[in-house]
Amino acid sequence: MTEPAQTLRDSLYRTIRLIRRFEERSIDLVKAGEIGSGIHPCIGQEAVATGVCAALDPDDIILSSHRGHGHLLAKGSDPGRVLAEMAGRVTGIDKARGGSFHPSDLSAGVYNATGTVGHGAAIAAGIAWASAKAGDGKVIVSFFGDGAVSQGALLEGFNLAALWQLPVVYVCENNGYATTLPVETAVAGTITGRGEAFGIPSRSVDGQDPEVVLAAAAEAVARARSGGGPSLIECRTYRYHGHHTFELKARLKYRDETEIAAWRERDPMDIQAARVDAGTRERIDAEIEELLDDVVRFAVDSPRPDAVDAQDYQYATGLRTRAGVADA
Amino acid sequence: MPKLSYLKALNRALGDEMNRDPSVFVLGEDMNLALTNVTAGFLDRFGPDRVIETPLSEQGFTNFATGAAMAGRRPVIEFQIPFLLLLVFEQIANQANKFSLMSGGQHAVPVTYLMPAAGWRTGWGAQHSDQPYSIFAHMGVKTVMPATPADAYGLLTTAIRDDDPVVFFGPLASLGVREDVDFAELAPIPLGVGCVHRKGTDVTVVAIGHLVHDAIAVADELADEVSVEVFDPRTLHPFDWTGLAASLEKTGRLVVIDDANRSCGLGGEILATAAEEMRLIAPPRRVTRPDGAIVGASPELDVALQPTREQLVTAIQRVLKYGGDAA
């Protein structure tokens, strides 16, 4: 692997740092009651979104998952509008209709994050098919977790993408747990074996190092863009926090502290920080703190939606269905 | 005037839309041989980029269509068997139908789910004989079930042009129905607008799908004793409540005949809404399937569980006992 240019190294560090601090500030807002839904934090997994999205062009498209804030930020969504969405404010990327769980942001090429685990794989294939037929050269990335690899719908998506040689990159963020279920008790065979079964070039890489992820993603993106069909990348990673912020209260015992500590030894932010000079780091860190102060202020100060608008956007045609009571 | 069959109307509507709009394409199983005849001749006319034969992978290709629709296409998925719509209920009701909402209006998902042979067919078994339209209407998915060839043409055209997902049920029992049509007058029919096939003043019969034809036959049969208005909603969601209210304003009596299960079926919803909001001078009645399944393996047992003309006659006679002068 050739070393990336220093500007790219700095940029990768900046993205990881932004995601890390964004998630930490978000957890503060969950605790403060500003994000009523809670969130699925991606702290510990930042190198995956960072490395993959660094391999993409602005016009490329990603499909996210329930643990999607990192994908949005790495793909270029406005952090203030992302946080406002999570906080249920009308200034959010989806006008408070998607929330933390189901974000779309077409301005950044984030098409959606379906809540039905693994089902983005075939949606991605459909977008990729339309792109390929239009000849627009776009590459579609579908992010999912290790839990998704036991879903039949994911494998149906693999089959269609491989059968029709579509420009898709499947990225499995294997963080070791499907909510509380350890991957080794859930997945027979291997994750890459699922791709190989369909003739999809499949690699398992260190998901803690953004430069390793970037190199694997660049190879897969180049294959997709040149008409070579789909790829699968398993990124071995870890989340330091619970599956969801409900674990701040639930204290579920499905993994021990030594395991978490061992993964923290290979922290993606530390790994990339070591490749950036101290002065640059300090400047980036300071810029991010300043940015996030503005982001939090923007989100919290933004208006909440009006209840009379609850049926807006239910239908693309603007159809309004009748009310839930007869004489409303 | 030339005769048009229901099946040919589907073929014609889909072909016309594919001619008119290059973003329209059709996908499904056994498409290359046009097994259901809906797409007869399409592979030659439109080529394999717009007539896509899929593997037996309903969840996968239904999500695939969602993605293609998000990217600007107008997919039409043809399903051969009604229960396949239950297999992909999640993909339609919980995904395709919610992306406009969840994206705050950024996405439209204009997919048409075409089920050209819904309902019971002799000997095809308990798993091939359902009419699951009520559950799509229940979940707020736009759902149409035209009864006549011209309506099939008009509503399939509208479904394809609509920016939201639309499920199209073509009842198997209607596929052979033929009517005289002026081809130049075939036109889109708006969603949510019902049709009075036969005017009457004593009782409104709401009939859904192929049962429209049974209702018209019963109305003719009873013409000497009672004036029956036959109201065909054509669209099940959004429902033409205004049209139904106008009919009941005249008749004040309501019978629904609905080839769906009784509990939580559309017939129950029509009765409830009429009772809450519309003019009724007699307790309304409905004729439905019982809860549970059609047997599907023996015509005698199968037919015993389906709504019949005799049941409709009895229901009409019962509602006529109320309200004084009409009976």
**What confidence score (pLDDT) does residue A1 get?**
65
Is residue A97 situated within a structural domain?
yes
Is residue A58 situated within a structural domain?
yes
Q: Is A140 helix (H, G, I), strand (E, B) or coil?
A: strand
The residue range of the domain holding A237 is 6-300
Query: Which of A116, A315, A321 is the best mutation test for B, with the most CBs of B within 10 A?
Result: A315
Is residue A321 situated within a structural domain?
no
Whether the Cβ atoms of residue B203 and residue B254 lie closer than 8 Å to each other: yes
**What confidence score (pLDDT) does residue A328 get?**
61
A-B CB pairs within 8 A amount to 150
pLDDT tens for each residue of B56-75: 999 999 999 999 999 999 99
In chain A, the residue whose alpha carbon lies closest to the alpha carbon of B50 is A133
Residues with pLDDT less than 70, chain A: 1, 328
Nearest CB to B63 within list A96, A122, A134: A122
Class of the CATH-defined domain B195-326: alpha beta
pLDDT tens for each residue of B109-138: 999 999 998 888 888 888 888 889 999 999
Three-state SS string over chain B comes to: CCEEEHHHHHHHHHHHHHHHCCCEEEEECCCCCCCCCCCCCHHHHHCCCCEEECCCCHHHHHHHHHHHHHCCCEEEEECCCCCHHHHCHHHHHHHHHHHHHHCCCCCCCCCEEEEEEECCCCCCCHHHCCCCHHHHHHCCCEEECCCCHHHHHHHHHHHHHCCCCEEEEEEHHHCCCEEECCHHHCCCCCCCCCEEEECCCCEEEEECCCHHHHHHHHHHHCCCCCCEEEEECCEEECCCHHHHHHHHHHHCCEEEEEEEECCCCHHHHHHHHHHHHCCCCCCCEEEEECCCCCCCCCHHHHHCCCCCHHHHHHHHHHHCCCCHHHC
The secondary structure of residue A105, as a DSSP letter, is B
Residues of B in contact with A102 (CB under 8 A): 98, 102
Give the catalytic positions of B in this structure.
128
Q: What is the count of structural domains for chain A?
A: 1
**What confidence score (pLDDT) does residue B117 get?**
81
Is residue A307 situated within a structural domain?
no
**What confidence score (pLDDT) does residue B327 get?**
41
List all residues 6 or more positions away from B313 whose beta carbon is below 8 Å from its beta carbon.
Answer: B218, B221, B222
ipTM over 0.85: yes
Helix (H) / strand (E) containing A204? strand A202-206
**What confidence score (pLDDT) does residue A191 get?**
97
Q: Is the CB of A160 less than 8 angstroms away from the CB of B57?
A: yes
Is residue A283 situated within a structural domain?
yes
Is residue A315 situated within a structural domain?
no
As beta bridge partners, residue A204 has A234
pLDDT in tens, chain B (327 residues): 889 999 999 999 999 999 999 999 999 999 988 888 999 999 999 999 999 999 999 999 999 999 999 999 999 999 998 889 999 999 999 999 999 999 999 999 999 999 998 888 888 888 888 889 999 999 999 999 999 999 999 999 999 999 999 999 999 989 989 999 999 999 999 999 999 999 999 999 999 999 999 999 999 999 999 999 999 999 999 999 999 999 999 999 999 999 999 999 999 999 999 999 999 999 999 999 999 888 888 888 988 999 999 999 999 999 999 886 544
Q: Is the CB of B164 less than 8 angstroms away from the CB of A315?
A: yes
Is residue A188 situated within a structural domain?
yes
Is residue A81 situated within a structural domain?
yes
Q: Is the CB of B108 less than 8 angstroms away from the CB of A316?
A: yes
CATH code of the region B3-185: 3.40.50.970
Q: Please, where in chain B does CATH 3.40.50.920 lie?
A: 195-326
Whether the Cβ atoms of residue A165 and residue A206 lie closer than 8 Å to each other: no
Cis amide linkage into residue B238, ω under 30° from 0:
yes
Q: Is the CB of B67 less than 8 angstroms away from the CB of A126?
A: yes
Parallel, antiparallel or unpaired: strands A61-63 and A177-178? unpaired
Q: Please, where in chain B does CATH 3.40.50.970 lie?
A: 3-185
B174-194 burial, b if ≥16 CB within 10 A, otherwise e? bbebeeebeeeebebbebbbb
Q: Is A265 helix (H, G, I), strand (E, B) or coil?
A: coil
